[in-house]
């Protein structure tokens, strides 16, 4: 049962990454205003709130994880990193509505596979088009988006499940994501 749940979480996460890739979700459409991203933060060392991601209050655990990962995220500003997840409370993927508990579980699965995974809020970064998302990045910086995408390839991640992202507090979303 645990393996099935883990598999479902990974598949849901992969699908959400595909759906919410900046290059797909936010292509300009004539006559439709585009959402603006907010400034953000990031961290580089894999840490967990109070040493564990299991929490009675998932919303608090998510906030704590973001705060814990913030210094590492800040160290990645201007560098390219692999983005492997993006979830918001209320997001519906394949009929499943994400809440704080399922977002925390999704991050936990990502962290178990990639110990250097970090969590941030899209609201804290100008390089995201939409606020309100918990974004999972791999805290391994690369000089170019091609290098970050090559890492995705080396991990055998599907093309739509991992892509290059650059964090910024001053630059907008344009030019800060590269699909594979």
Q: pLDDT digits over 31-61, tens only?
A: 322 233 333 333 333 344 434 455 689 999 9
Whole-model pTM: value is 0.70
Number of alpha carbons in the 13 Å side-chain half-sphere of residue 40: 38
Parallel, antiparallel or unpaired: strands 117-121 and 96-97: unpaired
pLDDT on residue 113:
96
Q: At what angle do helices 100-113 and 2-19 cross, to 10 degrees?
A: 100
CA distance 53 to 82: 22
Reported as a single tens digit per residue, the pLDDT across 114-128 is 999 999 999 999 999
Q: Tell me the average pLDDT across 74-100.
A: 94
Whether residue 14 is predicted with pLDDT greater than 70 in this model: the reply is no
Predicted confidence (pLDDT) per residue in 53-79, tens digit: 556 899 999 999 999 999 999 999 999
Long-range contacts of 47-54 (CB under 8 A, 24+ apart): 47/72, 48/111, 53/104, 53/107, 53/108, 53/111
pLDDT, the chain, mean: 79
pLDDT at 176 over 50: yes
Query: Cβ distance 80 to 147 under 8 Å?
Result: yes
């Amino acid at each position: 049962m645990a393996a099935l749940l883990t598999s479902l979480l990974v598949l849901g996460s992969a699908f959400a990454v595909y759906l919410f890739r900046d290059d797909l979700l936010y292509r300009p459409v004539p006559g439709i205003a585009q959402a603006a991203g907010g400034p953000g933060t990031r961290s580089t060392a894999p840490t967990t709130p109070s040493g564990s991601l299991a929490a009675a209050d998932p919303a608090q655990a998510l906030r704590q994880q973001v705060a814990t990962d913030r210094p590492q995220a800040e160290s990645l500003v201007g560098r390219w990193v692999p983005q492997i997840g993006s979830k918001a409370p209320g997001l519906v993927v394949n009929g499943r509505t994400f809440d704080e508990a399922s977002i925390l579980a999704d991050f936990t699965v990502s962290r178990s596979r990639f110990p250097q995974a970090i969590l941030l809020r899209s609201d804290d970064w100008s390089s995201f088009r939409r606020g309100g998302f918990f974004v999972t990045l791999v805290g391994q910086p690369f000089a170019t988006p091609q290098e970050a995408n090559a890492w995705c390839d080396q991990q055998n991640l599907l093309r739509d499940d991992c892509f290059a992202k650059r964090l910024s507090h001053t630059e907008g979303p344009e030019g800060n994501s590269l699909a594979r």
